[in-house]
Chains A and B, each alone.
Chain A
Amino acid sequence: MLTVEHLEKTFDGITPVLGGIDLAVQPGEIVAIVGGSGCGKSTLLRILTGLDTPSGGTVRLDGETILEPHERIGIVFQEPRLFPWLTVGQNVGFGLAHLPKAARDRKVRAVLARVGLADRAEAWPRQLSGGQAQRVAIARALVTDPEVLLLDEPFSALDAFTRADLQDHLLEIWAKTDPRPTLVIVTHDVDEAVILADRVVIMQPNPGRIADVQDIPLPRPRSRTAEGFDHARHAVMETLDRTLPRRG
């Protein structure tokens, strides 16, 4: 279980960014974190990854304190961040340098097949579309079989069709993985949060804290046109609306 206790973050010792976050994410659960700009959701995710250190409080994975990147935690960033000098297959196998080549190749092929890019192992990153590149980034994070996969606005740079396709694809991969990984997704897209998550964490700014946590009791697989989708979406929107700072 991923637990966050009284998490605080202050930039430059004066600007509070996170003001006491408490959250527990069950194994195999999908949690979406939504909120307006500057509510600290990306900072929270970076601390969960171990890329940033908190000013106070702790992050634990099954009791183990996370202070730096951990092999059981994978991350997908907003941009694919592929290494342009490596082929798609080499990018995916980047975190498997310790394995013998044959074992590495086997795992890379398997995970590329899971993201639907089995035939692109030899391609260069520059030859991929935005959606394909982000799928390679997901494959690179999945290849080490992380128990927790953190995604920082992973589809926000993609067009609406590709985004919906990749959301479905991510759910498909999640459902087929045994045991199912824990997913924590930061997004500013409420539809995305509702289609993906078991629970939506709504954050509010100044300093960033949790305004509300809403369960999404929709059955899986979900459809954007299903009954109940609009209702769930509406509930999240309503809370979000209350947290947004108003001018005047």
Chain B
Amino acid sequence: MADLSLSTPTPAPRRALPLGALWGLALPLGVALVWEAVVALGWNSGRLLPAPSVILLTLHDLWVRGDLAGHIGITLWRVALGFVFGTLAGTALGALTGYARPAARLLDPTLQALRAIPSIAWVPLFILWFGIFETPKVTLIAVGVFFPVYLGVMAAIQSVDRKIVEVGRVFRLTGPELVGRILLPAILPAYVTALRAGLGLGWMFVVAAEFMGASQGLGYLLVDGQQLGKPAQIVAAIVSFAVLGKATDSLLALAAAPFLRWEDGFAKRRES
């Protein structure tokens, strides 16, 4: 698209991170403080759900020993790989079924049936097929990412305004030109939403994946914490998942924002 620009529109003035973003921290911090007080005052032993200070200490210890960075690194790597493969397959098949009605008739019913299978159901099969190392884990995550991306792309392409596509016909675009210059830009907002949904499922599936015989990763920390009776470690891993999931989602939204400046949505109207 870049080569079509007359000249790049002047970017909107960069605003400082709005104070409103800090509001999002109010709820988790508030809950943590209350729980800390409850344990500190002795109203609860904190044995099953340790106080936030204990969890922070656990995170600190894991970090100092160098374990946490390793666990986070391997989990991030698995999610990233699964996300890339799932997104590629979801985009390609979603575009195909969205664009070509015969392809939708042929493929969509089967894919919708596969979508209904719970993630855990795949685990034994993937272990049989791919062994116990990285391949089954990445495959499982890719399966999780695939469906929201596939569904989002297909639905978005099918709902692109026929009148706008007709303008492409007037300018005698070829099939690939029509996809690249009209269909893809038109579905971009829905695509970003689908990617974010896919990434969210990727984070869910990585836990299922790391339950199948991992010796590293945040999912392994969960299993290890359960087997050795270390609730602080379990909560520390859960907190890490929450922080990483939110951070990667925000990064994705942030990366997409410059491409969606043209949008005229309800939220944007209220901002301006």
Contacts and interface: CB of A to CB of B under 8 A. Distances in A.
B9 A87 contact: yes
Contact of B169 (A51, A94, A108): A51
B271 interface: no
A90 B171 contact: no
B77 to A, nearest CB: 33
A71 interface: yes
Contact of A126 (B3, B164, B264): B264
Interface stretch (B93-101, B147-155, B180-188, B229-237): B180-188
B171 A69 contact: yes
Contact of B163 (A68, A79, A101): A79
Interface in B220-235: none
Nearest to A124: B262
Contacts of A71: 172
B182 A81 contact: no
Interface in A139-197: none
Given A81-B164, A84-B262, A101-B3, A122 B9 contact: yes
A49 B170 contact: yes
Contacts of B261: 124
A77 B6 contact: no
A49 B3 CA distance: 28
A85 interface: yes
Contacts of B4: 86, 90, 93-94, 97
Contacts of B172: 68-69, 71
Contacts of A104: 6
Scoring B164, B169, B170, B261 by chain A CB atoms within 10 A of each residue's CB, the highest score goes to B170
Contacts of B10: 122
Given A81-B164, A85-B186, A90 B169 contact: no
A90 B170 contact: no
Contacts of A97: 4, 181
A121 B6 contact: yes
A126 B265 CA distance: 10
Interface bin, chain B: 20 to 34
Contacts, number: 70
Interface in B222-272: 261-264
Given A51-B170, A95-B171, A83 B164 contact: yes
Nearest to B3: A101
Contacts of A77: 163, 166-167
B110 interface: no
B24 to A, nearest CB: 28
A69 B6 contact: no
A89 B262 contact: no
Contact of A89 (B7, B164, B166, B182): B7
A68, A74, A84, A124 pick with most chain B CB within 10 angstroms: A84
Nearest to B171: A95
Nearest to B10: A122
A7 interface: no
A108 to B, nearest CB: 6
A126 B166 CA distance: 20
A209 to B, nearest CB: 26
A200 interface: no
A29 interface: no
A77 B263 CA distance: 23
Contacts of B182: 83
B223 to A, nearest CB: 46
A105 B171 contact: no
Interface string A55-77: 00000000000001101001101
Interface in B169-221: 169-172, 181-182, 185-186, 188
Given A71-B172, A87-B9, A126-B262, 12 more contacts: A69-B172, A75-B170, A81-B163, A83-B185, A83-B186, A85-B186, A85-B262, A94-B171, A97-B181, A105-B6, A121-B6, A126-B264
List the 4 closest A-B pairs by CB distance, nearest first: A89-B6, A126-B264, A85-B185, A95-B171
24 contacts: A51-B166, A51-B170, A68-B172, A69-B169, A74-B170, A77-B167, A84-B262, A84-B263, A84-B264, A85-B186, A85-B188, A89-B7, A90-B5, A94-B167, A95-B171, A97-B4, A97-B181, A101-B3, A105-B6, A121-B6, A121-B7, A122-B9, A124-B262, A125-B262
Interface of A: 49, 51, 68-69, 71, 74-75, 77, 79, 81, 83-87, 89-90, 93-95, 97, 101, 104-105, 108, 121-122, 124-126
